[in-house]
Structure 1
Amino acid sequence: MIDVINQINATQREIGNQAVATGEGRSVLLRRVYDAPIEDVWSACTDLERLGRWLGQVEGDLRVGGTFQLKDNAGGEILRCEKPRLIKVTWVFGEGMPTEVEVRLAPGDDGRTIFELEHASPAQIVDELVRTYGPGGTIGIGCGWDLALLGLDLFLNGVTFDPATWQDTPEGKEFAVRSCHAWGPPIQAAWGTGDDDISAAVAFAVRHFAPETSGDR
C-alpha cells in the first residue's frame, strides 16, 4: 500500500516565472526531499536503465547536445548537465510547443537530497491558454509530475512500481484526484482565480486524470 496522503503532502508546489530560451516563461515548480544521498538521486535521474524503472523507457544520448525520447511521451535535447546538481532539457510532446524542464539537486540534512523540478513554458502561450480555457491545463502539467516524483520516491526505497498500470487502480485514482486538488491553491495564488473558477479547473483536471471519480476531496 502507498500512503497517498503523505506522498501528496511531501511535495511543495508553486507557480513560477522561469524564463525559457524564447524569453519570459511560466512554470510549475515541485520541491521535495528524498531520503537518499545526492549521488543516488542523480544516478536515478540520469541512468537510462534506472530511469526506465520509475519514469518510463528512455532512449537517447544523455549528454549535453544529445537528444532523448521518453516512450509514448515527450522528447528533446540535453541543454545542461552539471553532475550531480543540475539537468536541463527541452521537453516537446509531438507537434506541441517547445518547453523546458530543469531538475536541481542539493544535499539536505542527514544525507538526504533536496529535489526541485521546474517545467517552464513560454509565458504568452500559457497566459493565452489560461485566458481561453482556464487554469485546468496547468494543473494537469503539475499532476503529471506529481506522479513522476512519487515513482522516484518508491524506486529509491526499493519498491517496484509501474506508473502506467498503477494509475488505473483505486489507489492511483485517489492520488490523481488529491494531486489535482493540491495544485488548486498555487494556481489560484498565481492568477488570482476566483473560488468557482479554480473549482472548475480542478474538476477539469480530475476528469482527465481520474475520469471515473467524482473529484470530491
Structure 2
Amino acid sequence: MSATPTGYLTRRGDADHLAWDRTFDAPASQVWAAITVSERLAPWIGTWTGDPADGFVMFSMNAEGDEGSTPMRYDIPACDEPRLLKVDCVSDWGTWNLGLELAEADGVTTLTMTQLVNDVAAIENIGPGWEYYLDRLVLAETGGDVAGAAWDDYYPAQREHYVALADTLEPGIRERLGPPQG
C-alpha cells in the first residue's frame, strides 16, 4: 500500500472532522458487510460481540497488541444499512466519534470515514492510524495480504501531513507538538 496520506479536514455542522475516502469495485452491500459483520472486520481491524439492536457492541481490536485487545463499548447512535453507520466510544485513548458513509454508483462504492476532531493535538496520530486500517480494509476486500500494510510506512511517515492539517485548526500546534513520539 502507498504511504501517501489521503486524509483531509471537513466541516460537518458546527464541528471539524478528519475524513478519508476509499473506493471499492463492489456494491454497497458488500462494503457494508466488510465494515459491520464481525467476521469480515477480523482480517483488517478487530471483532465485536453483543447485539447491535441494543444500541452498542463490545469491540476488540486485533492489530494493536495486548493494549487494543481489551473489549471497549461502542455506542451506535445511527445505523441506516447500507448507507450510514455512526459509532462512538470513550476510552483511555480518547473520545472516538466515527462516521462511515457509503455511496454506490454503477457498482462502485465509495466509503467515506470521518472522525470528529475532539483533540487537535491527537490528529498527528489519528490520521496515520486510520490510513493504516483503511488500507488494511482495502487489502482484505481485494484479496491482498493485510500484512502488506506495515505500520512503519504510516507513522511517522504521514505525521507531517496531519500536523499540517492540525495547524490549520490551531495555528502554532506544530511547534507545540515537536518531533514524533515513539
- Give the alignment's TM-score, normalised by structure 2: 0.78
Show CA shifts across 1:58-84 (max 9, x none): 223233613232242643111111111
**Could you say which residue in structure 1 is the equivalent of 2:8?**
14
- Residue pair 1:76, 1:89 contacting (<8 A) in 2 also: yes
Q: Which of 140, 143, 153 does residue 174 from structure 1 map onto?
A: 153
Deviation at 1:121?
A: 4.7
**Could you say which residue in structure 2 is the equivalent of 1:142?**
127
Deviation at 1:153?
A: 0.5
After superposition, the Cα gap between the structure-2 partners of 1:64 and 1:179, relative to the gap in structure 1 and judged at 3 Å, is farther
How many Å separate the matches in 1 of 2:100 and 2:54? 14
**Could you say which residue in structure 2 is the equivalent of 1:89?**
87
The amino acid that maps onto 1:144 is G
Please give the residue correspondences for 1:110-149 in structure 2 after superposition, counting only pairs within 5 Å.
110-122=106-118, 126=119, 130=120, 135=121, 137-149=122-134
How many Å separate the matches in 2 of 1:150 and 1:202? 27
Q: Which consecutive residues of structure 2, in runs of 5 or more, have no partner in the other structure?
A: 62-67
Q: Which of 19, 25, 28 does residue 18 from structure 2 map onto?
A: 28
- Residue pair 1:16, 1:28 contacting (<8 A) in 2 also: yes
Greater fraction helix:
1
Q: Which of 28, 37, 53 does residue 27 from structure 2 map onto?
A: 37
After superposition, the Cα gap between the structure-2 partners of 1:99 and 1:177, relative to the gap in structure 1 and judged at 3 Å, is closer
Q: In the alignment, does 2:51 pair up with 1:61? A: yes
Q: Which consecutive residues of structure 1, in runs of 5 or more, have no partner in the other structure?
A: 212-217
Greater C-alpha Rg: 1
Q: In the alignment, does 2:42 pair up with 1:52? A: yes
* Alignment RMSD: 2.8
How many Å separate the matches in 2 of 1:33 and 1:48? 21
SS in 2 for 1:198: helix
**Could you say which residue in structure 2 is the equivalent of 1:183?**
162
The amino acid that maps onto 1:153 is V
- Give the alignment's TM-score, normalised by structure 1: 0.67
Aligned sequence identity (%): 22
